Amino acid sequence: MEKYIVSARKYRPATFRSVVGQKSLTSTLKNAIASDRLAQAYLFCGPRGVGKTSCARIFAKTINCLNPTADGEACCECENCKAIERGNSMNVVELDAASNNSVDDIRDITDQVQTPPQGGKYRVFIIDEVHMLSSAAFNAFLKTLEEPPKYVIFILATTEKHKVLPTILSRCQTYDFRRITIEDMVEQMQYIGEQEGIKTEPRGLEVIARKADGAMRDALSIFDQVAASSRGNITYESAIENLNVLDYDYYFKLVESFRIGDISGALLLYRDVRAKGFDSLFFLNGLADHVRNLMVAADPRTAELLETSKDVAERYTAQAKSLPLQWYYAAMKVLNDGDVQYRTATNKQFLVELVLIRLSQLLKPATPPFDLVDYVFPLGDITGAALPAAPSQSTTSQVAREEEPRKPDRSDKSDSPRIKKSSVASFRLNDNSVNEKMAEYSEQRKVHREPVSIEGFMQAWQAYQQANHQQHILTSAMRGSNPQQVGEEEFLAKVGHPAEVQAFELAMTQLLAYLRKQLSNDFLTIRVEIDPTRVVSKQLPPQEFLKECIEKNPALGDLLRKIDGELA
């Protein structure tokens, strides 16, 4: 019976072509080898499990291969290649600096540097987790790294580049390995599933890829785990059950509850999540991640930031359209506040439920005065308490009694002066100032989405220019931009110069707030682009500019000559 080998080892990349998710980096290394422009030292840095050590071994194998392929890959058949794959080649020396970080360990390396390669061109020294070397070891290594023999190449690998001494960094060519995308990991796991006879479902593989957090090695370890527990049939259900991952359907349902203001529905969903054994902080962070994904899905320009499969991305985009962009900012703040307060909260369940209630009221606020719980009245707007509360019957009668003239207490024999009644009057719900402030605040909390026409937009567009004429660059850009309506609530303004784009960017918050208020639509957006067909006039020296003006307007030349004559 063939011995079982875990996928992370069995399918470890053997050539640059088989490295997952690092195409541009491996192409650069292959080009350097093909052109024989090899550095004496390389630094491979990036997260764990993304292929740093694998690429170091492939690099060592390729430069020592006796029969490289036409496209610059190692043949994997010659004696040098096989020796490196078996791990017994004299031309490749590996050191794990996490457990061998003393001066003596580095001195052992510097002694081996003096031995020339056996049957190959180069001796390659791979030092993994190089940031773990002690300061003394770094200093002992520095001289050898700076002037090694021509046949020696050092490859240093680290997950924490900032901990490597600048004197080491300056002597290395640095290659930054990126996190493996979910799409690349899913594709690799599908390939392995086909090779191993394991049935796979893309949604299930995506759950594994998300859990791996950008590390291919972790993804393959989890892949083996789920494949074993599901008896070779990896589905979405088996993946979330085995990995204790919360089904993102809960988050989609929660956001729908927030959209319609269904507080009870949101609380019941949270109860189901707790019943499944999920930690409340884990739930909060997952909800925050979901809201973030909705926010980036709301704009086609940021939709590429979604790290998810195509069908899930479509679900995000569809739900994102049902909510105004401002809702995401407010929701993310509520969730962030909940995350900060969670550590110190005595009743954590109550805190999470309060967060869900607040999220449910963002679009469906409570009726006055209960929607003012978070509202702070500006100082001086209202005399009395800052927060109006609905008075009970006993409170109302108490206020009425306080307003009656106080009768003198004949039993009070004290000579001390009486304390006058406070001049800060308690206010009732029918006070005009309170009612006006509540009406104003309620109006601010409403979501407006009136249809927008190009005619109405242009009226508001011109009104803004008139009201802000002192913003010369912006208003000039607005006049020449000729806005076009490219969607129900999206407008495109084209300008001729980057400075005009910058002027729009600096004023965009103020401009959008004005237009949205004038047009009663909180979803209105403006996109600004440079028009490549527009000819931008170049800056001329004063004399040439004046000459050009005179050529276009001879009358101006006559006037200038008359002025010169009189001045003379």
Band the pLDDT of 415: cuts 50, 70, 90.
Answer: very low
The residue from 343, 360, 377 where one domain ends is 360
HSE-CB at 475 with a 13 A cutoff on CA atoms is: 12
Secondary structure class of 243 (helix, strand, coil): helix
Q: How far apart are CA 99 and CA 339, in angstroms?
A: 37
pLDDT higher for 302 or 264? 264
| Enclosing domain of residue 169 | 7-176
The answer to which of 361-370, 462-471, 543-552 has the lowest mean pLDDT is: 543-552
**Cβ-based burial of 356 (10 A; exposed 0-12, middle 13-18, buried ≥19):** buried
Under 8 Å between Cβ of 11 and 190 = no
The stretch 369-385 carries a mean pLDDT of: 48
What pLDDT is attached to residue 381?
43
Question: Does 202 lie in the same domain as 136?
Answer: no
φ, ψ of residue 265 to 5 degrees: the values are -60, -40
- 164 and 41 belong to one structural domain: yes
Instruction: Say yes or no: 353 and 223 in one domain.
Output: no
The per-residue pLDDT for 272 is: 92
Q: Are 187 and 28 in contact (CB under 8 A)?
A: no
CATH no. for residue 264?
1.20.272.10
Whether 394 maps to a domain, the answer reads: no
* 29 shares its domain with 168: yes
Query: Are residues 98 and 169 both part of a single domain?
Result: yes
Q: Tell whether 365 is covered by a domain.
A: no
Could you tell me which residues are beta bridge partners of residue 79? none
The answer, yes or no, to whether residue 402 has pLDDT greater than 90, is no
Q: What angle do CA 418, 421, 425 make, to 5 degrees?
A: 175
Q: Confirm whether 411 is domain-assigned.
A: no
Contact 339, 332 (CB under 8 A): no
Q: Are residues 31 and 158 in the same domain?
A: yes
**324 and 208, same structural domain?**
no
**Residue owning tokens 């899905």:** 297
Predicted pLDDT at 431: 52
Q: Which of 374-378, 483-487, 530-534, 556-560 has the highest mean pLDDT?
A: 483-487
Q: How confident is the model at residue 391 (pLDDT cuts 50, 70, 90)?
A: very low
How many degrees, rounded to 5, is the angle at CA 247 between CA 244 and CA 252?
Answer: 155
Beta-strand runs (E) in 438-509: 484-485, 490-495
In CATH, what number is assigned to the domain containing residue 105?
3.40.50.300
Which residue is listed with tokens 């491996």? 26
Tell me the C-alpha distance between 554 and 292, whole Å. 62
What whole-number percentage of the chain has pLDDT above 70? 81
| Same domain for 261 and 223 | no
Question: Is residue 412 a part of any domain in this protein?
Answer: no
CA distance 444 to 438: 10
Angle between helices 135-146 and 103-112 (to 10 degrees): 20
C-alpha 568/C-alpha 562 separation (Å) is 10
Residues 322-346: tens digit of each pLDDT = 888 889 999 999 999 999 999 889 9
- Average of per-residue pLDDT values in the chain: 81
What pLDDT shows up at residue 445? 59
Residue at 370 is within a domain: no
> What's the rounded mean pLDDT across residues 226-240?
88
* CATH code for the domain in which residue 228 is found: 1.10.8.60
The number of folded domains in the chain is 4
Mean pLDDT of 496-502: 84
pTM of the full predicted structure? 0.58
* Chain CA centroid to CA 327, Å: 17
The DSSP string of 275-321 is: HTT--HHHHHHHHHHHHHHHHHHTSTTTGGG--S-HHHHHHHHHHHT
pLDDT of residue 552: 65
Tell me if 488 sits within 8 A of 452, measured CB to CB.
yes
Is 383 domain-assigned? no
User: Around Cβ 1, how many Cβ atoms within 10 Å?
Assistant: 3
Residue 554 has pLDDT above 60, yes or no: yes
Residue 248, token pair as written in the block: 């993102």
Q: Which residue has the higher pLDDT, 366 or 153?
A: 153
Residue where a domain terminates, one of 176, 196, 211: 176
Per-residue confidence (pLDDT) for residue 543, from 0 to 100: 67
Name the one residue in this structure whose structure tokens are 């390659």. 124
Residue 421 included in any domain = no
- Give domain status of residue 547, yes or no: no
pLDDT over threshold 90, residue 458: yes
- Tokens 């320009």, located at residue: 301
> What is the total residue count of the chain?
568
Same domain, residue pair 127 and 253: no
Confidence of residue 454 (pLDDT cuts 50, 70, 90): very high
DSSP assignment of 62-97: HHH-SS--TTS---S-SHHHHHHHHT--TTEEEEET
CB atoms closer than 10 angstroms to residue 233: 13
Statement to judge: residues 338 and 478 lie in one domain: no
